[in-house]
Structure 1
Amino acid sequence: MLENKEVQIRDPFILPVASEGKYYMYGSTDTNIWGKGTGFNVYVGDDLQRWEGPYPVFRPDSDFFSDTNFWAPEVYAYGDRYYMFATFRRKDNELLGTAVLAADSPLGPFKPHSEGPVTPESWSSLDGTLFIDEQGSPWMVFCHEWQQVADGEVCAMRLSDDLKGALGEPVVLFRASEAPWTTPYVAKRYPDQDNYVTDGPFLFRSSSNQLFMLWAGFIENKYALGIAKSSSGRITGPWVHEEQPLYRNDGGHGMIFRTLDGQLKLTIHAPNQTPDERPLFLNISDNGDAITLING
């Protein structure tokens, strides 16, 4: 068994499985996620403190479209299967894209479901997350990478019901600089542009059915987590940003889930430096109109 302090992971994503009394924790699990990709692992536990594993849930075949930067897997029960949304760097144009994989079990093995990334081929796109709208239609919400557009974007794209592809062009929901809490990111590789980062969007409906989005950026070059609310209650917004970040202590890429006993939790990775990143679990409060941190 491993404790949280022993698990190196970025972008943690929790899938609770009530029938098993278990939590499945996925994330970017390569020791050096900035280099060659080996696949994704999962950790399994029942208390969010101790974990069995890691167990391999995805290993690429030799003809897979990527061999570098395997990032941010999110796993959802959808229909009668489990679907993984994950980011990879393409071999053909060296741009990032989010693809969909599928398996019959949370333990995998996950196999390619979409024909490569479903995000636009000419875009550098990452951190795709699944959202089901009020009509039951699936969408992918993802980031158009700041390295390509300077002012990182969060975009939404309608998916086919089988999750194999896009049904339309992406819609830009907002740009990072629109949030009052974020500041320019100083990057050595891009010194001549004003960089604003968007990372890790995640959608959550409050107890009063209001639609919130978590997303990560930077404050004075430290990783932080912000929150925005759709004033229409729909994925297309418009999106209104909170004045202050939800978490600013060099952690982010968060998601919200309900524990097996009904409590709301936020998980992020912190700090943001490899190889020190660890999963962090925080209590949150939902009063219907706002999402707030109870501790941390």
Structure 2
Amino acid sequence: MKKWQLQDIRIRDPFFLKENGEYYLYGTTDVNTWEGNGEGFDCYRSKDLKLFQGPYPVFRAPQNFWADRNFWAPEVWKYRGRYYMIASFKAEGRCRGVQVLISDDPRGPFVPVTDGPVTPTDWECLDGTLCFEDDGVYMVFCHEWIQTGDGCICAAKMSGDLTKLTGEPEVLFHASEAEWPVIHREFDSEGFVTDGPFLFRDENSRLHMIWSSYGEKGYAVGISHAQKGVIGKWNHERNTVLEKEGGHGMIFEGPEGRTLLVVHTPNTWLKERVKLYSVEKLILGG
């Protein structure tokens, strides 16, 4: 198996899972992420976040899989002793949706738990993530700007086996409610983008969210704070965490207990690489 330096791995939408003393790196890995047939997802693993082994083919689309393109942004969560992948997919004539997959091993293979996405079938949705509250598990995801004009981040409670949403999605906020996003023009559309929500708690258990959009200087990461829990009002920082060329991030515990933010940069097809930042410096101290 080939060994890689972190800076040499081309990947979008990076996500780390720490398991059994190793870090598993997942992300959007198809060469053609925008057009053409989707292939699947790969992962890499490392003990120190410096030298990685891989790629491991953790998911390949099975025969008769509902989607055929735009295989994006896989996250992997350990839940009830198994590993759940949350990822975005699309097909000709069907809305983009968030699918749940499952495996007994972080290296896969991951297989779908349902025949289709768990997000509403008539909504263009992407970038699902999980939030664990006292009353259960919630899926947080984006209702896309290309359909709504003003992209929004939504949440809905999930069934205990993560096979479906058990309630109607609630809008947490629209991109334009924060001060830093600007109108983005792409794909013959224009509007305010919401991408890549990721939720985390501070030492006082207060809930926060990082998410991506376009700011004055390009693809950026902002931060918002829940007034209570995931469902309810969110307050938004005026300034971004990263103002340009950094997006679709997540936060995790690295070596020696350091809290790290990971993003892909630059936001340019085939040039994307993984970059790590100290959360204490960028968020808690900023």
Please state which band the TM-score falls in when normalised by the shorter chain: over 0.9
Residue 4 of structure 1 deviates from its aligned partner by 2.0
Is 1:292 aligned to residue 274 of structure 2? no
1:42 is aligned with what amino acid? Answer: C
Specify the alignment match of 2:77 in structure 1. 76
1:250 is aligned with what amino acid? Answer: E
Specify the alignment match of 1:211 in structure 2. 207
Q: Write the mapping of 1:61-100 to structure 2, written as runs, cut at 5 A.
A: 61-91=62-92, 93-100=93-100
How far apart, in 1, do the equivalents of 2:263 and 2:50 lie? 14
Residue 270 of structure 1 deviates from its aligned partner by 0.5
Specify the alignment match of 1:236 in structure 2. 231
2:215 is aligned with what amino acid? Answer: I
Instruction: Give the paired residue count.
Output: 283
How far apart, in 1, do the equivalents of 2:285 and 2:67 lie? 37
Specify the alignment match of 1:181 in structure 2. 180
The answer for unaligned runs of 5 or more in structure 2 is none
- State TM-score, norm by structure 1: 0.92
Paired residue secondary structure (1:33): coil
| Contact 1:44–1:53 (Cα < 8 Å) also in 2 | yes
In percent, how many aligned pairs have the same letter?
A: 45
How far apart, in 2, do the equivalents of 1:186 and 1:63 lie? 34
The answer for unaligned runs of 5 or more in structure 1 is none
How far apart, in 2, do the equivalents of 1:188 and 1:64 lie? 26
Paired residue secondary structure (1:285): helix
Q: Write the mapping of 1:129-208 to structure 2, written as runs, cut at 5 A.
A: 129-135=129-135, 137-187=136-186, 189-190=188-189, 193=190, 195-208=191-204
Paired residue secondary structure (1:235): coil
Residue 260 of structure 1 deviates from its aligned partner by 4.2
How far apart, in 1, do the equivalents of 2:200 and 2:187 lie? 34
Specify the alignment match of 2:251 in structure 1. 256
How far apart, in 2, do the equivalents of 1:159 and 1:100 lie? 11
Paired residue secondary structure (2:221): strand
* 1:235-265 Cα deviation digits (max 9, x unpaired): 0130000010000121110100012431100
RMSD: 1.5
Specify the alignment match of 1:3 in structure 2. 5
| Contact 2:180–2:216 (Cα < 8 Å) also in 1 | no
Paired residue secondary structure (1:261): helix
* 1:66-118 Cα deviation digits (max 9, x unpaired): 11000000000000110000000034x33110010000000000001123100
- State TM-score, norm by structure 2: 0.95
How far apart, in 2, do the equivalents of 1:275 and 1:211 lie? 34
Residue 47 of structure 1 deviates from its aligned partner by 1.4
How far apart, in 2, do the equivalents of 1:13 and 1:293 lie? 23
Residue 293 of structure 1 deviates from its aligned partner by 6.4
